[in-house]
A and B are shown apart, each in its own frame.
Chain A
């Protein structure tokens, strides 16, 4: 074959092998946008010269952010030894293709929309809802379509999983309006439920505006499927074609006014509009690129999750008079995300490709400070804690011999069994809260310090990590390296090795000392945070 033909053949082969992203063909290039983000941050945020984080920190961060678990020691070693220039990009791409990524973020979103739900089992079909969320992320359904499905779904909770969004709120129009605006638009409009919002708290939402929003949900019928012959009698949402949503008059609470459905940007539908027409109209208005909130709220939220700080201090203060940090950057990134077609994986990829994400972390900004041009440490979410404990300590989730006492809780959160349930219930937290409002609790500390689970698996028993290392006749250094690798996904520093060696000498009982050190690593702050 001539050289020219070889070249053509090779280019064709290469083009066919380039992985296709589930992206809008006109989507901005992730790397190009990431470079724009870095350039923008360089202009407005300090420090000017960022230090890249080392490979060990990067891979742990990426695995936790995408797959929700620790990388295995062998994966870390291979990654560190790999000399290819774009190895970090490959890790991100590989993780975005896993079901683990979809499960991890499905859990996040399910908690976001149902964390404060007071609904019980008949209203919420947990398993199907969980699977639905996972599938949306696995198939990379664009975010505007996901939100549209949630707003417009009808049917029984076990047959049409997105309906659980409304049944979890008892299909109450006011609750639906409050949650929809708070979660998907980042606006807390529910203050205006009872009175006009005060001007000094932000955009002066009028009471009428809240109720006009609620009117979009005003013709939903909620009922229980009483004709089921077996199994739980789930609730269902059906479209009704009559009835008007009413707001009580402030001057005379015994009287009401029929409200016309009107969105926050002024568009309305007729009061004759059916439920289907109302909710479809609302979905279009909420997800439209013409309103200033939908894209910015999502970008702000995802940025906060990955970087540990948000452009807005809270994910739901877009409707307040708070000036966001670096507003031009938020706007630019939001526009690019809209151009991608609201592509969920696109945004993860773009943010994680920035130098800002891949740099060494700095402390979290104070309430009045500007955030740094890099990320800051963040607490792990409860299921990430559990996954980390599993890979660190090597116990099986199915092992029923491990005592797993757990507090009972509101039915909306009762989703796990066994040790996973125990850890989730102890570490659970509303994922929409800013980091500054989350603190560790005494039961969390007691679980890590004293639980049978941690005690058993930090002990030098036959089948445990330490037991095996000792049985294999490993040296102290090898054992320390193995423990740090499993628990913290990195090698110990020289200083840390020194502290451990001195401790082993002081205790003068090798097995006990090593158990104490393993216990110490699992009880360290580092184990419970992303850094």
Chain B
């Protein structure tokens, strides 16, 4: 029975070839377990769940977003405003988000030890601190593998305006498809010649390479042709309109805001409708070591508008019950303002926002002290947060896959889901 847990299973329930060769002879017991795994996988995929991660690259200041400390010496000049939830205030820079707070679940008590961008970003994309050796798959890749539709014409994992974290040993099928600029169609998806001529060219290529499939390069050619079929399928697919914002009425595009972030959120909603499993939308520039307030004047409005529009649009379209929305950065910023009117990295206490699925609405978890120095209640480590994401999405955080260093690795590092974030918990 022990060996069955180590078997890597792909989206169709087929065993990874390498693992099969390692564990040959495990017998009836493991095939029973495999059938159980297959069923579970099929069930999960029918539910069509999605996750949208709104990634604030650089580490947004909690004082000027979700954890203002009015009256404290650490707050600076930004004021706090009431939200649609009595008892919860946010910075006045997020007025639209304040109005929809009753749909959101706010965690103020995130805490981590990683204060370096690369390391903290890795932690917040994989659920693991970096360690020299194993390259952990991005959470988006793991989720897509677990609950994505393996037959979809579109990639199951899309990253908008940023690179996200790759699939590592899970394989290239779960690599994030990257859209560099949501205001224009993805690079190279549009065919430069007619669909008919494209098909004709592909048929020529098929005939031209046909006989070589039996030669020394045979496997490479077969894989290449298969990849081209997938790429062509995507380029020619009706679902590819998920990437095309011109189908949306102007007032919808305006509601999200005509910023890169706003339009990225709109594209994320469209991709959820087309069955994409995990979408990350990045907003950069939050690393405000200097002139913070001036920079926030430009940073906050697009994010405020995009986040609020996305959550309400998903709700109105009946998609919020099967979509988990997350707003987070790699850390927060220092309570003390530095000599260049900025704040520096602060992983000690920072906020994360969740919405959708069975996450509690209008809920505040955890607290920080009066000046925003330390977490005083409900501390949540990053792996615990990822365990909570897994709970929402129906993913097993302890599911193991064979890694690139020959030992099995769980989807998320050791942790515990925060049950109080969920309805009934």
Do A and B share a complex?
yes
Interfacial residues, chain A to chain B (CB-CB below 8 A): 116-120, 169-170, 174-175, 177-179, 182, 188, 190-191, 193, 198, 201-202, 317, 320, 360-364, 367-368, 376-377, 379, 405-410, 433, 437, 439-447, 449-452, 455, 495-496, 499, 503, 507, 512, 516-517, 519-520, 523-526, 528-529, 531
7 contacts between A and B (CB under 8 A): A118-B119, A361-B217, A440-B227, A445-B227, A446-B231, A520-B201, A523-B205
Contact of B235 with A526 in the complex, beta carbons under 8 Å: no
Question: CA–CA, A217 to B220, complex, Å?
Answer: 42
Of the candidates A377, A439, A442, which one forms a contact with B231 in the assembled complex, judged by CB atoms under 8 Å apart?
A442
Q: Which residue of B lies closest to A438 (CB)?
A: B172
Whether a CB of chain A sits under 8 angstroms from the CB of B163 is yes
Contact of B116 with A170 in the complex, beta carbons under 8 Å: yes
| 20 more A-B residue pairs beyond the given contacts A178-B131, A440-B227, A499-B207, with a C-beta to C-beta distance below 8 A | A117-B118, A118-B121, A190-B132, A320-B406, A363-B218, A440-B172, A441-B175, A442-B230, A442-B231, A443-B177, A446-B231, A446-B234, A449-B231, A450-B235, A496-B208, A503-B204, A517-B204, A524-B205, A525-B225, A529-B217
| A450 and B406 in contact, given A190-B131, A362-B216, A409-B163 (Cβ under 8 angstroms) | no
Whether a CB of chain A sits under 8 angstroms from the CB of B135 is yes
B residues near A367, Cβ cutoff 8 Å: 17-18, 21
Question: CA–CA, A352 to B119, complex, Å?
Answer: 41
Q: Which residue of A lies closest to B221 (CB)?
A: A525
Question: CA–CA, A119 to B405, complex, Å?
Answer: 22
B residues near A179, Cβ cutoff 8 Å: 132
Of the candidates B118, B122, B162, B187, which one forms a contact with A443 in the assembled complex, judged by CB atoms under 8 Å apart?
B187
| A450 and B190 in contact, given A379-B220, A440-B172, A531-B217 (Cβ under 8 angstroms) | yes
Of the candidates A408, A439, A524, which one forms a contact with B162 in the assembled complex, judged by CB atoms under 8 Å apart?
A408
Question: CA–CA, A120 to B204, complex, Å?
Answer: 45
Contact of A182 with B217 in the complex, beta carbons under 8 Å: no
B residues near A317, Cβ cutoff 8 Å: 406
A residues near B209, Cβ cutoff 8 Å: 524-526
CB distance from A206 to the nearest CB of B (A): 16
Of the candidates B119, B155, B225, which one forms a contact with A442 in the assembled complex, judged by CB atoms under 8 Å apart?
B155
| A449 and B232 in contact, given A170-B116, A188-B405, A361-B216 (Cβ under 8 angstroms) | yes
Of the candidates B228, B405, B407, which one forms a contact with A449 in the assembled complex, judged by CB atoms under 8 Å apart?
B228
CB distance from A475 to the nearest CB of B (A): 20
Which 3 pairs show the lowest CB-CB distances between chains A and B?
A: A118-B118, A178-B132, A190-B133
Question: CA–CA, A362 to B217, complex, Å?
Answer: 8
Number of B interface residues at 8 Å Cβ cutoff, please give it.
Answer: 65
Question: CA–CA, A284 to B192, complex, Å?
Answer: 57
CB distance from B75 to the nearest CB of A (A): 29
Contact of A516 with B204 in the complex, beta carbons under 8 Å: yes
Question: CA–CA, A449 to B178, complex, Å?
Answer: 17
B residues near A190, Cβ cutoff 8 Å: 131-134, 405
Question: CA–CA, A52 to B162, complex, Å?
Answer: 48
Contact of B216 with A116 in the complex, beta carbons under 8 Å: no
A residues near B225, Cβ cutoff 8 Å: 525
Contact of A449 with B224 in the complex, beta carbons under 8 Å: no
| A182 and B228 in contact, given A118-B118, A408-B163, A446-B188 (Cβ under 8 angstroms) | no
A residues near B78, Cβ cutoff 8 Å: none
A residues near B207, Cβ cutoff 8 Å: 499
Q: Mark B94-135, 1 if CB is under 8 A from A, else 0.
A: 000000000000000000000011110110000000111111
Whether a CB of chain A sits under 8 angstroms from the CB of B259 is no
Question: CA–CA, A175 to B215, complex, Å?
Answer: 43
Contact of B135 with A116 in the complex, beta carbons under 8 Å: yes
Contact of A449 with B21 in the complex, beta carbons under 8 Å: no
| A120 and B118 in contact, given A190-B133, A442-B234, A450-B192 (Cβ under 8 angstroms) | yes
Contact of A507 with B187 in the complex, beta carbons under 8 Å: no
Q: Which residue of A lies closest to B176 (CB)?
A: A407
CB distance from A211 to the nearest CB of B (A): 13
CB distance from B56 to the nearest CB of A (A): 15
Contact of B188 with A443 in the complex, beta carbons under 8 Å: yes
Question: CA–CA, A116 to B131, complex, Å?
Answer: 11
Whether a CB of chain A sits under 8 angstroms from the CB of B43 is no
| A525 and B131 in contact, given A361-B216, A405-B181 (Cβ under 8 angstroms) | no
Question: CA–CA, A177 to B133, complex, Å?
Answer: 11
Q: Which residue of A lies closest to B117 (CB)?
A: A120
Q: Which residue of A lies closest to B200 (CB)?
A: A516
CB distance from A405 to the nearest CB of B (A): 5
B residues near A119, Cβ cutoff 8 Å: 118
Contact of B405 with A450 in the complex, beta carbons under 8 Å: no
Q: Which residue of A lies closest to B229 (CB)?
A: A445
| A363 and B219 in contact, given A409-B163, A455-B192 (Cβ under 8 angstroms) | yes
Contact of B228 with A445 in the complex, beta carbons under 8 Å: yes
Contact of B407 with A191 in the complex, beta carbons under 8 Å: yes
